[in-house]
């Protein structure tokens, strides 16, 4: 039975893949034209790039919950990590340390650019946050950052800042219309405020997911 089971699973999964492909090939043309709706409303969204408009304005609720999920995952990871005192980093090769010291400020600059350009071109809070997190991981790998098994107060503020700013903006515009419907005149500024806070929090959270659980074995 044990030997037959994987074969059965692979056969069933292959069958599912073929059925999915057949269903896609048989799909009729689009019944709803969402890109047209996005293009028609982009002028009042506060940004010029359609994906950023969908993420932060038209479907802002998804993004609000997403940052909450990210934070919950970090809470889960922190709860599992045994709380040692911040472990000192293992010094890496001097060449890697020098490279990381050179690259980290550049990565912060790139993150800032990605955040700013997200209003009109591909980019935005998540891409910028990912670059920030990569800088954190690089510094950790070079042995320049201690592990974050127990984040201190300032770090905790940074981790929740994105979610709190997002909720504060959502609450502030609640009197205007439905949840997360920004007044068109303020939309651009509000979105940039949210995105700046999100960038910091996403970068710190993604970095912390790695930094909290790395253990330097002597």
Closest CA to 132 of 102, 152, 151, 110: 110
* Shortest spacing between CB 92 and another protein, in angstroms: 22
Nearer CB in complex with another protein: 33/93: 33
What's the residue count for the chain? 218
Closest CA to 129 of 47, 197, 41: 197
Contacts of 172 (CB under 8 A, 6+ apart): none
94 C-beta neighbours (distance < 10 Å), count: 9
Q: How far apart are CA 212 and CA 85, in angstroms?
A: 11
* Shortest spacing between CB 98 and another protein, in angstroms: 29
Nearer CB in complex with another protein: 97/213: 213
- Interacting residues toward another protein by CB under 8 A: 5-6, 9-10, 13-14, 16-18, 20-21, 24-25, 27, 29-30, 34-35, 38, 50-51, 53-55, 59, 62-63, 66, 69-70, 72-74, 76-77, 80-81, 126, 202, 206, 209-210, 213
Nearer CB in complex with another protein: 18/106: 18
DSSP code for 57: I
Nearer CB in complex with another protein: 126/165: 126
């Amino acid at each position: 039975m044990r030997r037959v089971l994987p074969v059965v699973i692979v056969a069933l999964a292959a069958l599912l893949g073929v059925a999915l492909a057949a269903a896609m090939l048989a799909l009729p043309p689009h019944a709803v034209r969402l890109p047209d709706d996005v293009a028609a409303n982009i002028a009042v969204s506060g940004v010029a790039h359609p994906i950023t408009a969908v993420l932060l304005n038209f479907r802002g609720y998804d993004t609000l919950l997403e940052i909450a999920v990210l934070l919950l995952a970090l809470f889960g990871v922190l709860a599992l990590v045994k709380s040692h005192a911040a472990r000192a980093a293992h010094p890496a090769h001097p060449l890697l340390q020098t490279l990381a010291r050179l690259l980290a400020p550049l990565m912060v600059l790139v993150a800032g650019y990605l955040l700013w350009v997200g209003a009109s071109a591909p980019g935005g809070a998540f891409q910028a946050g990912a670059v920030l997190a990569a800088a954190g991981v690089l510094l950790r790998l070079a042995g320049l950052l201690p592990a974050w098994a127990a984040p201190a107060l300032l770090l905790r503020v940074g981790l929740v800042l994105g979610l709190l700013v997002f909720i504060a903006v959502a609450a502030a515009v609640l009197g205007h219309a439905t949840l997360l419907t920004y007044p068109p005149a303020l939309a651009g500024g509000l979105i940039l405020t949210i995105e700046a806070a999100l960038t910091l929090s996403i970068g710190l959270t993604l970095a912390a997911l790695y930094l909290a659980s790395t253990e330097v074995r002597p």
